[in-house]
Amino acid sequence: MTSTSLAHNVGAPIVNRPNIVAVGTIVWLGSEVMFFAGLFAIYFTLRSTSPGLWAFETSKLDVPYALTNTIILLLSSVTCQMGVRAAEAGKVRSTKWNSWGVVEWFFLTYAMGAVFVIGQIFEYANLVSEHISISSNSYGSAFYITTGFHALHVTAGLVAFLLVLGRFFSVNKFTHKEATSAIVVSYYWHFVDVVWVGLFLVIYVLK
């Protein structure tokens, strides 16, 4: 037996352990699923007690506008995933539009997420002009609580993108830690996008 093979046999075994940060994020997102499940339950309960009110108030919703805003958010998941692919390949920045790095893709994702939040603010303003406020009736309360909490989660995601981008610019060398931070942020962003799909179907489609 050669010394090389002996060293291999007596050495510590190589164990592929899951990334603790990624696992922790997934577990935390599991708790967030329960939180939004509670919001859905509140919405359905209030709707079941006031079907006439729901029919009247939902007629004031601008569904094409909300659909456009939804498409923007869903496309941001695509750009986010492109950024993750660039991070996994170690591509940080690129001046060529057809060969973007994670920085460019994440900046685009941030911009699209910001457009979504601004779009929701304009929608709120329009609904208030239609006399639908959080204190107007049970529909207003359910609508603003469910969509408002989601908007807060999107805003938190935008802050996370800025923090991750700041980290990319502050390090001298892009390492596995930076790539992991990009992946973790993408988990959160995909989560808020999926939640919004559920909210859109419940609020705007299944009136």
> Does 8 map to a domain?
no
> Does 128 map to a domain?
yes
> Does 4 map to a domain?
no
> Does 107 map to a domain?
yes
Range of the domain at 48: 21-205
Say which residue the tokens 């046999």 belong to.
Answer: 9
Say what the pLDDT of residue 11 is. 41
Say what the pLDDT of residue 2 is. 42
What's the CA gap between 55 and 58, in Å, rounded? 6
Say what the pLDDT of residue 30 is. 75
Name the domain count of the chain. 1
What's the CA gap between 73 and 71, in Å, rounded? 5
Instruction: Give 10-residue mean pLDDT values along the chain (207 residues).
Output: 41 46 70 86 91 92 96 97 91 78 95 97 95 91 94 95 90 81 93 95 88
CA 128 to chain centre: 26
> Does 146 map to a domain?
yes
> Does 2 map to a domain?
no
What's the CA gap between 177 and 171, in Å, rounded? 11
Neighbouring residues of 67: CB distance < 8 A, sequence distance ≥ 6: 200, 204
Say what the pLDDT of residue 172 is. 76
CATH of the domain at 86: 1.20.120.80
Say what the pLDDT of residue 75 is. 97
Neighbouring residues of 195: CB distance < 8 A, sequence distance ≥ 6: 36, 150, 153
> Does 3 map to a domain?
no
